[in-house]
């Protein structure tokens, strides 16, 4: 196969990926704009997410410290992460296998259900929290916002498990491949392990 065909194939696959992403997000927005449809989707998501509850908790508050809370997460962001796991853009064999069996409407329903749930902030060492706030404000707040709620493209970090946060930030910093985002890797590059722990402690306390 010559380079021209390879380029066309690559462009075609990229178009399919972006097409799926746009379609899912458009469907999500349409449901969110309709209160009756939104309530029905959230109720359906509660049932569709039954296999997620084993790790992420029935209400999206994780049972395992290394597994992220999904409660209160931005639905558009959460839906995009579900899509990325399904196509292998995010690497986790267990998650990829589970998500591949979901229908598109179930992916949307699950995202909306978890977004409607309430996260539970934790309590951390006051000195560590203070140090983490300084680092967060300097390095992270520009994208993740002052209260760490993010937006439709940026994840909510407030109330997240410290263990999960430390794991994720370390992966970005060390460029291990599980999480790939050049902006994140650049932002957290100067952080030492103790800095990451402080930022994680601070974020865990936010409502």
Full-model pTM: 0.87
Residue 3's CB: how many other CB atoms inside 10 A? 7
For residue 140, give both structure tokens. Answer: 């992270």
Return the CATH architecture of domain 126-204: Orthogonal Bundle (1.10)
Question: Domain spans of the chain?
Answer: 3-115, 126-204
Q: What is the pLDDT of residue 19?
A: 86
For residue 174, give both structure tokens. Answer: 């060390």
* 80-105 pLDDT, tens digit each: 999 999 998 888 889 999 999 999 99
For residue 147, give both structure tokens. Answer: 């209260």
| Distance from C-alpha of 132 to C-alpha of 138, rounded to nearest angstrom | 10
> Do the first three CATH levels of 3-115 and 126-204 match, i.e. the same topology?
yes
Instruction: Provide mean pLDDT across the span 48-77.
Output: 95
CATH 1.10.760.10, domain 3-115, yes or no: yes
Nearest to 86 by CA among 67, 60, 106: 106
Residue 179, pLDDT > 60, answer: yes
């Amino acid at each position: 196969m010559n380079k021209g065909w390879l380029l066309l194939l690559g462009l075609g696959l990229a178009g399919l990926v972006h097409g799926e992403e746009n379609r899912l997000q458009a469907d999500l927005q349409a449901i969110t704009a309709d209160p009756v449809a939104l309530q029905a989707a959230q109720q359906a998501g509660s049932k569709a997410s039954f296999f997620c509850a084993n790790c992420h908790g029935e209400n999206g508050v994780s049972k395992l410290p290394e597994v992220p809370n999904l409660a209160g997460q931005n639905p558009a962001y959460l839906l995009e992460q579900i899509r990325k796991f399904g196509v292998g853009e995010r690497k986790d064999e267990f998650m990829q296998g589970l998500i591949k069996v979901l229908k598109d409407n179930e992916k949307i329903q699950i995202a909306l259900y978890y977004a409607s749930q309430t996260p539970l902030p934790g309590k951390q060492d006051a000195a560590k929290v203070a140090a983490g706030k300084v680092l967060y404000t300097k390095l992270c707040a520009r994208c993740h916002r002052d209260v760490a709620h993010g937006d439709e493209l940026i994840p909510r970090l407030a109330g997240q498990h410290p263990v999960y946060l430390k794991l994720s930030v370390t992966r970005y910093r060390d460029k291990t491949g599980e999480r790939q985002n050049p902006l994140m890797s650049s932002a957290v590059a100067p952080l030492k392990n103790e800095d990451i722990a402080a930022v994680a402690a601070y974020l865990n306390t936010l409502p």
